[in-house]
Amino acid sequence: MLPTKLKIGDTIGVVAPSNPIIGHNIEELERAKEIVQKSGFKIKFSKHIFSNTNGYSNTAKEKAEDLNEMFQDQEVKMIWCAKGGNNSNTTFEFLDYDLIKRNPKILCGYSDITSLTNVIHAKTGLVTFSGTNFKTIATDETDYSYQEAWKRFVEGSLEIGKEDEEYVTIQEGQAEAELIGGNLNCLHSLVNGRYQVNFRNKILFIEDLGIESNPAMISHFLAHMKQNGVFNQIKGMWIGNYQHESNITLEQIVLDILEEKCGFPIIKSNHFGHIETKTVIPIGTKARIDTNQSEKIKLIEQCVK
């Protein structure tokens, strides 16, 4: 199920389903609002966006209510998550998945928002997006990530990153499958349980934030996924940004967990994750990996209509 692409003049709804918008985040959100309004869009903040009911975030019901209302609001054409954090997964049981199915819209965010984008896709079939959070439009040093969002959501472009993007082949091969993924810290929690997502025959893309997830934690996340059969199910892997003071790389840890043996291609690039250059990756549409090509991954299906 594809969302409709944006037109100049459309209204974008902004929600905070993860950490609270407090302190300097309030000013950053207002600055991001100004930037997007100058591009010709209207901005609508959700009812509870500046609340902090629990002292560490809004309640799960408040956050889910904001999401449900934004999907129901016929004026709103896109829902942009304000920032990441730690607990967007608390909303799962309070989301109205039938409502979302009836009102398909662009939903975008990264980091902790990975939980939402993947579960909503799994529950509804709606194509969702891993891309810059709304706040980051104001805090990035360049407008690269915002322009990537513009390309995907307004122009409907299938281009991934820059033309001269550097890719590294970790494991050779070809694969064609739907994309699933995002932040590894979140993804490993979606392997089993009531809100598990389906990794079978997918291309998995992963990234993480080194100052929050050290190499031992990354190893733990990947081992949990391996022990639950994820790497026997996927058709390919795309590794994004991970930087840690130890200089241990995400690909090193992946190969250690896989014991350097796998039946699928693995590629690495630096244009998604906790990094300045965040391309927008659709969750639920097909891509093709071919390590024989200079551009080693391509989107091969439309992700907005």
The per-residue pLDDT for range 259-270, each reduced to its tens digit, is 866 889 999 998
How much of the chain exceeds pLDDT 70, in percent?
A: 99
Residue 42 identity: K
Domains in the chain: ranges and CATH: 11-155 (3.40.50.10740), 168-299 (3.50.30.60)
H/E stretch holding 117: helix 114-124
List, as one string, the DSSP characters of 125-157.
Answer: ---EEE---TTHHHHSSSSHHHHHHHIIIII--
pLDDT < 50 positions in the chain = none
The per-residue pLDDT for range 122-139, each reduced to its tens digit, is 999 999 999 999 999 999
Helix (H, G, I), strand (E, B) or coil at 107: strand
Position 260 scores a pLDDT of 67
Q: Which residue has the tokens 């199920």?
A: 1
Q: What is the rounded CA–CA span in Å between residue 62 and residue 161?
A: 35
In sequence order, the β-bridge partners of residue 79 are: 13, 107
Q: Which are the contacts of 253, defined by CB distance < 8 A and separation ≥ 6?
A: 215, 218, 219, 222
